[in-house]
Every structure is written in C-alpha cells, then in structure tokens.
C-alpha cells in the first residue's frame, strides 16, 4: 500500500499566515477497505461449515435415524468442525506472523533435515488423499545451512508441498528440494505435474482467501490462507515467494532466501 502523503500549504490570510495540513486519505481508505474485505471473508468461511453443521443437528433432532446414517452424519459433522478448526489455526498463524518481529539469525538449520521432514509428511498426505498416490521425490540438489525460525520455515515448506499434493491429480509427480542461487541465496522449490495456473492469477495467489479453483480447495480442506502464510514467512526471512506455472503442465513454487540466511556446508 502507498504511504499517506502529507502536503503543506501556506495560505496567506491577511497578515497572519495559516498552516493547513491536508492528509492524503487514499492509503488509509485502502487499508480500511482491505480490513472490511478480510472480516467479510472470514465470516463467510465460518458461516458455511456452521450452516452445514446446524443443518445436520436439526435433522438428527427431528427424525429418528438408523445407526448407519447416524454414524455417517456424525462423520460429516466432524469434517465441518475440523474445517473450522483448520481455518482458526491458519488465522492465528497469520496473525502471529504479522504481529511479531522478524526472526533474528536464529539457529543454523540443516536444509536436508527440513526437507526430510516435509517429504515424509507429504508422503503421508498423498497416501491418505490421492488415488493412486503421487510419486514424491526429494531432490538433493544441494545441502547447506539456513538460518531462521525452524517452525516457520517448516510451515512454509509443508504448505507448498501440501498444495502440490492437493491440486495434482492422483498418480502425478512431485519434486522438492533446496538449491543454491547464483547470488549466494538459497531456495526451496516444489515442482508438480498438476493443472498449472493461468498467468492472470499469479500476482494474486498470495492474497488471503484468493483461490483459483474454489471447489478443489474446499474438497481438499483448503482455507485459502496457505500461500499468504508462505509469503509472510519468506518476507520475514528477507526473502520472497516465486511461482512459475504452465496451464496443463504444472507449477513450480519457490521460497527464496537471501545470501545472509544461507551458509554453504564445508566438506572434507
């Protein structure tokens, strides 16, 4: 957003000069509009599962159900409750990221250790939701130390991997790894053979609640906040998120870290 401009005008009123401060309100108005949008979005995201949930409660109160149906209804109700829990947890993560100072140099973390952790998680996810499961490969392009907040980095990495698993049709190929950049920085990348994303959506992907494929996001338990979280983590570490995507072929997402956060491993 743009900074508010303050302009000074000096009006000659008779002998005395009067100082008039006019503040450019566009930036303030923009921030206010964004806040309203955000509240409307959150309300909508919470209302949908609540409506479904109370619909089931009413049905169960009004008609006697066979044991099978009862179990099925309870399963569906628990899914809706889970959805709200995920949403609240993502909202809390975002607000913590927005409200706390950027992590200092922190500890030096083994990039391979981070990778192994999130790859294992993604293997579990694909076994649970993809038919057939994806082939997920850890690309050990380089192994180095990265500095920062470990839980934040893990959360950014696993968000990218879980998106690849959730949006790539079953049986697809997903590759993830760390690699060094020519400028001495490092990046974590995830490449998938999924549907890809049309160019017009790319600039907006990291906006809170922005979704290209709304129904796919919902079906797979998406909150629309994942990439906003990834962007915050990257920026807090002095880096950024990059995306390359070809519709019909797949996407590559990257969390890029600056050279100051990367230390090459000295071997031998």
Please report, as ranges, the residues that interact with ligand ADP according to CB under 6 A. 163-164, 167, 192, 194-195, 197, 205, 210-213, 217, 222-228, 251
- In the complex with ligand ADP, the residue whose CB is nearer, 124 or 247, is 247
- In the complex with ligand ADP, the residue whose CB is nearer, 83 or 261, is 83
Shortest CB 38 distance to ligand ADP, Å: 14
Q: What does R_g of the chain's alpha carbons equal in angstroms?
A: 24
Shortest CB 100 distance to ligand ADP, Å: 21
Shortest CB 74 distance to ligand ADP, Å: 25
- Which DSSP state fits 224? S
- In the complex with ligand ADP, the residue whose CB is nearer, 26 or 89, is 89
DSSP H helix total and E strand total for the chain: 6, 10
Beta bridge partners of 102: none
- In the complex with ligand ADP, the residue whose CB is nearer, 151 or 249, is 249
Shortest CB 197 distance to ligand ADP, Å: 5
Beta 240-246 vs 173-180: how paired, if at all?
unpaired
- In the complex with ligand ADP, the residue whose CB is nearer, 187 or 192, is 192
- In the complex with ligand ADP, the residue whose CB is nearer, 147 or 158, is 158
The dihedral through the CA atoms of 31, 222, 190, 105 has a sign that is positive
Distances (CA, A) of 180 to 131, 140, 262: 34, 11, 9
Separation of alpha carbons 194 and 208, rounded Å: 22
Phi, psi of 144 (to 5 degrees): -150, -175
* 3-state secondary structure (DSSP) of residue 92: helix
Separation of alpha carbons 233 and 119, rounded Å: 19
Shortest CB 210 distance to ligand ADP, Å: 6
Phi, psi of 246 (to 5 degrees): -125, 115
- In the complex with ligand ADP, the residue whose CB is nearer, 114 or 227, is 227
Sole residue written with tokens 């060094």? 180
Shortest CB 191 distance to ligand ADP, Å: 9
Shortest CB 23 distance to ligand ADP, Å: 34
Beta bridge partners of 255: 188, 241
């Amino acid at each position: 957003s743009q900074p508010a401009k303050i302009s000074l005008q000096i009006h000659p009123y008779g002998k005395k000069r009067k100082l008039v401060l006019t503040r450019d309100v566009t930036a303030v108005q923009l921030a206010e509009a964004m806040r309203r949008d955000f509240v409307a979005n959150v309300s909508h995201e919470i209302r949908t599962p609540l409506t479904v949930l109370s619909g089931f409660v009413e049905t169960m109160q009004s008609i006697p159900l066979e044991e099978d149906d009862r179990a099925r209804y309870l399963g569906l109700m628990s899914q809706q409750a889970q959805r709200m829990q995920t949403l609240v947890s993502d909202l809390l993560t975002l607000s913590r990221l927005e409200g706390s100072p950027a992590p200092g140099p922190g500890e030096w973390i083994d990039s391979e250790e981070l990778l192994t952790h999130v790859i294992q998680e993604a293997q579990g996810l694909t076994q649970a939701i993809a038919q057939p499961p994806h082939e997920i490969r850890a690309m050990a392009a380089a192994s180095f130390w990265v500095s920062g907040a470990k839980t934040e980095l893990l959360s950014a990495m696993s968000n990218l991997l879980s998106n690849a698993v959730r949006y790539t049709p079953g049986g697809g190929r997903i590759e993830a790894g760390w690699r060094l950049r020519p400028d001495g920085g490092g990046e974590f990348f995830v490449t998938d053979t999924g549907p890809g994303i049309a160019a017009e959506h790319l600039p907006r992907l990291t906006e809170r609640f922005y979704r290209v494929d709304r129904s796919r996001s919902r079906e797979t338990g998406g909150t629309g906040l994942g990439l906003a979280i990834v962007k915050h983590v990257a920026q807090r570490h002095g880096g950024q998120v990059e995306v390359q995507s070809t519709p019909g072929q797949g996407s590559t997402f990257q969390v890029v870290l600056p050279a100051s956060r990367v230390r090459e491993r000295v071997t031998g």
